[in-house]
Amino acid sequence: MKKLLNKIHKRTKKAPMVAEQPSSMRITNETVAEHRERILAGGRKFKYPLQTPKHRIVLVTVLLVVLTVATFFGVFTWSLYVGQNTSQFTQRLTQVLPYPVASVDGKQVRFSDYLLELRSALHYLSTKENVNFNSEDGKRQLEYQKRLALNKAIENAYVAKVAGEKGINVTGKEVDSFVSQEINNNQLGVSDSVFKQVIRDYYDWSFDEYKSSVKQQLLRKEVLAKLDVDGRKRADEALAAILAGKDFGEEVKAASDDPLAKSSGGDVGTISKNSDDPNGLIATAKNMKPGAVSGVVEGTDGFYIVKLIDAKDNTIHFAKLFVAYTTFQKQFAQLKSNGKIQEYIKVAESVSPSNQ
């Protein structure tokens, strides 16, 4: 029995003693928050090392996006000014991004306006006249159309500038009235939908683009007439002479700027009432009685005076006196001479449309 007690005593001595936890390590109601924070702090060392790669990924992604966008715009800009891309995608993008193709008297000329004119001309020539722009003659025609389109875009920009300075505006109602007249006066008697399709087929324009072109034409007419004080004076003086009893034909020979009209006394002959009427001469004559003389009409290229000779159901016969607008072109030529017109693409200064 004594031996057994000795063995038990020895084992008790060898058994490790469980260290008593200090009071700071004991979990109590008062220390539970502290223990929770200690455990979470131990876990953070496994979480935070992953956050640095996340920031790097975001940074690299942003840099790649910026580099891609910069590359795209760099290539696109090169395609505009050096490659002179004329695709529909290019035109649509320049309608959103105001890339300038030129400047006139400090006003920027938008690339989209130039491409709208150029693409329309090229579409018509390729689809209606079968022009191959890869041929030698086609390349000449392409350069010729580029020059025409650029000249028109620059002139239109200057027209807009002058209109803003002089408070000249064309309303949507005026545009709609002109378009409605064009549709109703067309010789085919087509519907609105067919007319819109014709615009698309011939000019590759949406109806809104066509109306925008009409607005520009009407604005140009208003500006040119407003600027040409001398031309207006000449037209008024010619009208006064006619109303005072001078023969219309004789006044045409004395005052008209149309050399062909001088020999005929301004007589245009008998034409269809549905003929193209950009100057509004037929529309004016239709509201007159035979022998009557109109007031001064502001046309697209000059001032007109109309004398109605005869009118039937579908035809009309009248004479016209024409005084050309000259002030705008003189001012425009002066701007070019003074170096106030800058072109940002290389286009031939002058080239004939074809060898024929």
Q: For residue range 26-80, list pLDDT tens digits in order.
A: 656 666 666 666 766 665 555 555 555 777 888 888 889 999 989 988 898 999 9
Q: What is the DSSP string of 268-303?
A: EEEEETTS--TTSHHHHHTTS-TT-B---EE-SSEE
Q: Residue 303: which of 213, 242, 214, 222 has the closest Cα?
A: 222
Integer-rounded Cα radius of gyration of the chain: 41
355 pLDDT tier (thresholds 50, 70, 90): very low
Q: What is the DSSP string of 54-118?
A: HHHHHHHHHHHHHHHHHHHHHHHHHHHHTS----HHHHHHHHHS--EEEEETTEEEEHHHHHHHH
pLDDT in tens, 207-242: 999 999 999 999 999 999 999 999 999 999 999 999
What pLDDT is stored for residue 102 in this prediction?
97
17-26 burial string, b = 16+ CB within 10 Å, else e? eeeeeeeeee
Is residue 345 scored above 90 in pLDDT? Answer: yes
At which residue do the structure tokens 């086609």 appear?
A: 138
Domain ranges in the chain?
99-227, 229-324
Give residues with Cβ within 8 angstroms of 206, minimum separation 6.
200
d(Cα 219, Cα 329) in Å, to the nearest integer?
16
Yes or no: say if 243 and 293 are a contact pair by the CB < 8 Å rule: yes
pLDDT in tens, 160-205: 999 999 999 999 999 998 888 777 765 555 678 888 898 999 999 9
Give residues with Cβ within 8 angstroms of 332, minimum separation 6.
155, 158
What pLDDT is stored for residue 147 in this prediction?
95
Is residue 18 scored above 50 in pLDDT? Answer: no
Give residues with Cβ within 8 angstroms of 2, minimum separation 6.
none
119's tokens: 């693409």
Segment 83-94 shows an average pLDDT of 91
Yes or no: say if 322 and 257 are a contact pair by the CB < 8 Å rule: yes
CATH code linked to domain 229-324 = 3.10.50.40
pTM summary value:
0.76
How many CB atoms lie under 10 A from the CB of residue 104? Answer: 23
Edge-to-edge strands of the sheet including 315-324?
A: 267-272, 315-324, 302-311, 297-298
